[in-house]
Amino acid sequence: MNTAVFEKAMEVFETPQEFWEEAKLMLTEPELSYIALAGRQVLSQDEMKKLITEHGLSDQPEEMIHSLYHRAIIEKQIPGFVDPVRGLFGNPVGEDFDFNQVQRTVDEESNRKASYRVTNFYTRLPYFAQFEPEQYAPIPKKKKQALNEWDLQNYQKDYEAVILSKMDGYEEKMHQNDWLNLEEAMAVLEKNQDFIYLIPCNCKRMVYDHDKLDEVCVRFYGGPNTEFDRGHGRRITLEEAKELVLKYRKSGLMQCGEGYSMCNCDSQCCFPIEVSRRMGARLTFPRSNWKTFYNPAQCIQCGKCTKVCNFDAFHFGWNNRIEFDEERCWGCTICSSACPSGAITLQKIHHKFKNSDEEGNITFPAPIH
């Protein structure tokens, strides 16, 4: 391919030079040409078709637009559309937002009016790992680690200010805001029972070398630029979702939830947990609403808690007896479901924030860090 076109595409796509070789795996030559030609403009579908046809990128322009969107190389803009995922004060809405109040998928008329803009490498990379694992697999392990670290640092930049506010005692809703205990997880599924779909986890697919279950991201919203609207994911019933969450929990995956999704996280791959660890935000992000208690008198030493705990808070200690280290506990609650003897119990924590009323409603935005 023409070097100037490729370099222009890399510039538009905001691709770090160290990942240009990987970008060639993620983008076809017609896609690179499209990116270079379209730049950062918002184009109507007619303008896109004209550009694709005039430059000979495809003789089926509609299919190419569909494929560009499916592969997260372009993003959709619908005139007048207000994204419900961006709720109060511009932050993602929390678990108290009722998605039954909003239209969960994009209707035909909105799709007809939609315009599109090229995304960037940061948007495309997780999609590539998540939905094209056979193409992602051959990338050498060291390069995967470098891509992951770059992505993680960008993710941290995006959410650092919100997490700092939380650490400072303010409430600000963001994705993966709260750990969910079993009853809360089931209640979230029930609330969203009319629209549930399942996709592979981008964090787990990007890390790639692990033994975790990875088709574990449960979603309840299919609006513009979601995985569902881009043509991914599998609709599941409430019963199937409940069975899956029980299975995930048993395998050591922890539920975090909000109005539009439920993640099933682990401490090895999950970006939010790693960022929280780096920032020292344990118990604050994701917020723990449950304090864990261990009663050795009831413990039958079965070791199930040690298998599910991601942080080694429950472990075999002196004389091969179970020990619980509260300082390592993230309050995720999955050990209490795993314990067959009732030796692990939970107590609800009632948080008081600097910017919320007695009912926990946010009354003013947290100061910007």
Binding interface with ligand SF4 (CB under 6 A):
292, 299-305, 308-309, 311, 313-314, 322, 329-335, 338-341, 343-344
Least distance from ligand SF4 to the Cβ atom of residue 310, Å: 6
Residue number, 80 or 340, with CB nearest to ligand SF4: 340
Q: Min. distance of Cβ 156 from ligand SF4 in angstroms?
A: 22
Whichever of 9 and 322 has its CB closer to ligand SF4, that residue is 322
Least distance between ligand SF4 and beta carbon 348 (Å):
13
How far, in Å, CA of 70 to CA of 84, rounded?
21
Q: How far apart are the first and last CA of the chain?
A: 45
Q: Of 136 and 314, which CB lies nearer to ligand SF4 in the complex structure?
A: 314
Residue indicated by tokens 């449950």: 290
Q: Which helix (H) or strand (E) holds 262?
A: strand 261-265
Q: How far apart are CA 162 and CA 285, in angstroms?
A: 10
Is the Cβ of residue 9 or residue 339 nearer to ligand SF4 in the bound state?
Answer: 339
Minimum Å gap between C-beta 333 and ligand SF4 is 5
**Rounded to whole angstroms, how far apart are CA atoms 160 and 253?**
24
Residue 33 phi, psi dihedral angles, 5° rounding: -65, -40
167/302 with CB nearer ligand SF4: 302
Q: Is 126 exposed, middle or buried (0-12, 13-18, 19+ CB in 10 A)?
A: buried
| Nearest distance, CB of residue 346 and ligand SF4, angstroms | 8
Closer to ligand SF4 at the Cβ: 24 or 277? 277
Residue spans of alpha helices (H) in the chain: 3-12, 20-26, 29-38, 45-54, 61-70, 108-113, 121-131, 133-136, 141-167, 182-191, 202-207, 238-250, 271-279, 304-308, 334-338
Distance from C-alpha of 340 to C-alpha of 350, rounded to nearest angstrom? 27
Question: Least distance to ligand SF4 from the beta carbon of 324, Å?
Answer: 7
